[in-house]
Amino acid sequence: MEVVILPHAQDLARLAADAVVRLLRRQPQAVLGLATGSSPLGVYRELIRRHRAGEVTFARSRAFLLDEYVGLPADHPQRYRRVIADEFEDHVDFPVGAVQSPDGLADDIAAACAAYEGAISGAGGIDLQLLGIGTDGHIAFNEPGSSLSSRTRVKTLTRQTREDNARFFGSVDEVPRHVLTQGLGTIAAARHVVLLAAGEAKADAVRRMVEGPVSASCPASVLQFHPHATVLLDAAAAADLALAGYFRETFAAKPDWQEL
Ligand code: GLP
């Protein structure tokens, strides 16, 4: 796990965008994993800016979303498929149909989850997965207690996650209870994972992810097993890390030729 601590959230977005742009230049058909939530929004804004500047194209790439609410109508503004279109996809040049998400409106949820896993492996797996982290340590919608080797399936949100996400809805009662989410095993199979966290509300979850034991109680801690996980933190999110000084020194001394 490479932990990078930078003063401001916009610095994190720039570094993550650099990683995406470098990947697409080297491998135009790369498969991206997209996350919703506020954490990756700066990355999408930066990628849109670089796309408009002619620095990057998504014309040969594909993308898979991490998760989706069950039962939100197709035109609901908080449906993750809609959010990613509004925040990113519609502003760049993905081919039609190149961005996929789990089908939260499927009649047969189990079949939809299996089909989603099949689509990801059919595309050759995910090359770079963007991630945020929930205040309870979840990644995608893998809540505490999730199997560390789980695949795409239905999950029930915790009260805490529904309260955290109530800001996007009218009230907590409007936040769906059920979601479809890539599993921790699905996420762990991505070749490079880039997680962004900013703000003091994330500090405890970040400490448990980076320095706590690997445990289903903190689903993000599974990334300690990942051979190529990059954790980008602002100073507030890194505030509880015992190794913060070491992580800062390591990044300051990182050779120019070495990518994330
Ligand atoms: C949601 C999403 C996660 C995201 C988390 C944190 O629950 N399913 O993918 O990481 O929220 O969101 P934010 O980045 O807004 O703090």
pLDDT in tens, the chain (260 residues): 999 999 999 999 999 999 999 999 999 999 999 999 999 999 999 999 999 999 999 999 999 999 999 999 999 999 999 999 999 999 999 999 999 999 999 999 999 999 999 999 999 999 999 999 999 999 999 999 999 999 999 999 999 999 999 999 999 999 999 999 999 999 999 999 999 999 999 999 999 999 999 999 999 999 999 999 999 999 999 999 999 999 999 999 999 889 99
3-state secondary structure of 42: helix
Residue owning tokens 């700066």: 42
Distance of alpha carbon 175 from the chain centroid: 20
Identify the burial level of 96 via C-beta atoms within 10 angstroms of its C-beta, where 0-12 means exposed, 13-18 middle and 19 or more buried: exposed
Position 86 scores a pLDDT of: 98
- Distance (Å, whole) CA 163 – CA 139: 16
Q: Which residues contact 97 (CB under 8 A, 6 or more apart)?
A: none
Residue owning tokens 């079949």: 111
Query: Which of the residues 67, 89, 103, 164 is marked catalytic?
Result: 67
Q: Is the CB of 195 under 6 A from ligand 1?
A: no
User: What spacing in Å lies between the alpha carbon of 161 and ligand 1's midpoint?
Assistant: 9
User: What does the block give as tokens for 15?
Assistant: 């570094």
Query: Which of the residues 68, 138, 164, 226 is marked catalytic?
Result: 138
Residue owning tokens 């230049």: 25
Listed in sequence order, the DSSP H helices in 27-168 are 41-52, 80-87, 109-122, 159-165
Q: Which residues contact 247 (CB under 8 A, 6 or more apart)?
A: 3, 4, 5, 238, 241
Which pTM value belongs to this model? 0.97
- Distance (Å, whole) CA 57 – CA 59: 5
Position 256 scores a pLDDT of: 87
User: What does the block give as tokens for 82?
Assistant: 């809609």
Q: Which residues contact 118 (CB under 8 A, 6 or more apart)?
A: none
Query: Does residue 205 contact residue 139 with C-beta atoms inside 8 Å?
Result: no
Q: Is the CB of 40 under 6 A from ligand 1?
A: no
Query: Which of the residues 127, 136, 164, 234 is marked catalytic?
Result: 136
Question: How many residues are given for the chain?
Answer: 260
Q: Is the CB of 39 under 6 A from ligand 1?
A: yes
Q: What is the helix (H) or strand (E) element at residue 129, kind and residue range?
A: strand 128-131
Identify which of 34, 67, 68, 138 to mutate to test ligand 1's pocket (most ligand atoms within 8 A of the CB).
Answer: 138
Position 166 scores a pLDDT of: 96
Q: Is the CB of 38 under 6 A from ligand 1?
A: yes
- Distance (Å, whole) CA 84 – CA 65: 8
Q: How far is CA 81 from CA 20, 122, 200, 228, in A?
A: 20, 20, 28, 27
Q: How far is CA 14 from CA 22, 71, 85, 169, in A?
A: 12, 34, 21, 29
Q: Is the CB of 80 under 6 A from ligand 1?
A: no
Query: Does residue 233 contact residue 5 with C-beta atoms inside 8 Å?
Result: yes
Strand partners, 34: 65
Q: Which residues contact 121 (CB under 8 A, 6 or more apart)?
A: none
